[in-house]
Amino acid sequence: MSTIEKPRSAVLERILTLEVVRVTERAAVAAARLRGRGDEKAADQAAVDAMRRELNVLPIDGVVVIGEGERDEAPMLYIGETVGTGGGVKVDIALDPLEGTTLCAKNQPNSLAVLAIAERGGLLNAPDVYMDKIAIGPGYPKGVVDLDATPAENIKALAKAKGVAPEDITALIMDRPRHAALIEAVRATGAAVQLISDGDVAGVIHTTEPEETGVDIYLGIGGAPEGVLAAAALRCIGGQMQGRLILDTEEKRARAKRMGIAEADKKYEMHELASGDVYFAATGVTDGSLLSGVRFGRHGVSTETLVMRSATRTKRWIKAVHPLVEKFRTE
Ligand code: VTB
Ligand code: MG
Ligand code: MG
């Protein structure tokens, strides 16, 4: 019943699933060593360095189009940085070596090492600004919710499509003062609001397994890089998502324009955020509802990774045990 959206792409065919997994595994282990130390920057830097090293041994001609950190001066894998050994397939890369730096620093659930790889041109070159997002899981009629509808309209439409009362809907929203009106509007419908402190890539993915997570819809404003990464994930799993960049200053509009964004208030559909054949991988750093975190055990380091591909909709959960702990040491 699930339709394959596009014939298998010859371009990405040669990128082995396991190679993508290695990249997020390395970043996750590096960050996990600094879990719970209260030092977000150090954990982020460790993840960035590990991811860069691992990306650079992949047989790809890669360009980073979504990095992260501009906004909070976090260490970056720079937008425009070329990665890989070169000469291989031409791909665009979106990454967040440590998504949820604060979660990692506090050793709280759902920090992830995240990577998406697409055919050249397949990922929106978004600046590191905020993005307004809406996402739901698979199985709903197209357009049942919309970024331009009110929260009440969206909750009611979703409840109707699900065949339940608005009271039976749960919306996941980041706990921020900027969401006060949104939270109030959702609660006014009778729906439940689940607040998260950080981590909206995981947040969006939560909508795809409502039976497991209890989450039906993701709403609110988070990072634009995380929006593109979340869209890449949903392309692989199914579901619906829209996003709109928040370009609320002249400086941001100019920056977006330089990155090729002509229409400042455009509402992006999921397929415009991430198109063509896309790989998505996430390894758990801290324990979470999607993935277990890294374990430093007596017999080695254990990791858990979800890796998926949009062309085939294959999802793989790769649990790995790495007895050779030395390989994770930074050179
Ligand atoms: C957002 C969100 C991320 O950080 O970027 C958030 O997309 C930062 O938001 O998932 P604030 O500026 O309001 O703190 C995360 O939650 C974690 O990187
Ligand atoms: Mg980051
Ligand atoms: Mg992030």
For residue 102, the ligand 1 atom closest to its alpha carbon is 17
For residue 99, the ligand 1 atom closest to its alpha carbon is 18
On whether both 181 and 288 belong to a single domain, the answer is no
ipTM: 0.98
CATH assignment of the domain containing 249: 3.40.190.90
Pick the last residue of a domain from 273, 297, 312: 273
CA angle 156, 130, 25 (to 5 degrees): 95
Residue for token pair 């759902």? 110
Q: What is the CA radius of gyration of the chain?
A: 19
Question: Residue 14: what pLDDT?
Answer: 63
Quick check: is 259 in a domain? yes
DSSP 166: G
Q: Is 101 annotated as a binding residue?
A: yes
On whether both 139 and 239 belong to a single domain, the answer is yes
On whether both 135 and 261 belong to a single domain, the answer is yes
On whether both 283 and 172 belong to a single domain, the answer is no
On whether both 119 and 144 belong to a single domain, the answer is no
Token pair, residue 188, equals 């006014």
Q: Is 81 annotated as a binding residue?
A: no
| Ligand 1 pocket mutation pick from 71, 182, 198 by most atoms within 8 angstroms of CB | 198
Question: Residue 72: what pLDDT?
Answer: 46
Please report, as a single letter, which amino acid is at residue 257.
K
| 123 Cα distance to chain centroid | 13
Query: Which residues make Cβ contacts (< 8 Å) with residue 36, sequence separation at least 6?
Result: 104, 105, 106, 107
Whose alpha carbon is nearest atom 16 of ligand 1? Answer: 198
Domain extent for 28: 15-123+278-328
Total domains in the chain come to 2
On whether both 258 and 309 belong to a single domain, the answer is no
SS3 227: helix
Quick check: is 8 in a domain? no
Quick check: is 7 in a domain? no
For residue 130, the ligand 1 atom closest to its alpha carbon is 5
Please report, as a single letter, which amino acid is at residue 10.
A
On whether both 23 and 95 belong to a single domain, the answer is yes
Interval 105-130: pLDDT, tens: 999 999 999 999 999 999 999 998 99
| Ligand 1 pocket mutation pick from 176, 226, 286 by most atoms within 8 angstroms of CB | 226
How do the pLDDT tens digits run along the chain, 331 residues long?
444 444 556 667 666 788 899 999 999 999 999 999 999 999 999 999 999 999 999 989 999 999 864 544 555 677 888 899 988 889 999 999 999 999 999 999 999 999 999 999 999 999 989 999 999 999 999 999 999 999 999 999 999 999 999 999 999 999 999 999 999 999 999 999 999 999 999 999 999 999 999 999 999 999 999 999 999 999 999 999 999 999 999 999 999 999 999 999 999 999 999 999 999 999 999 999 999 999 999 999 999 999 999 999 999 999 999 998 787 876 4
Residue of 328, 323, 318, 309 whose CA lies nearest to 291: 318
| 321 Cα distance to chain centroid | 24
Ligand 3 centroid to Cα of residue 181, in Å, is: 24
Quick check: is 220 in a domain? yes
* pTM across the whole model: 0.94
Please report, as a single letter, which amino acid is at residue 65.
V
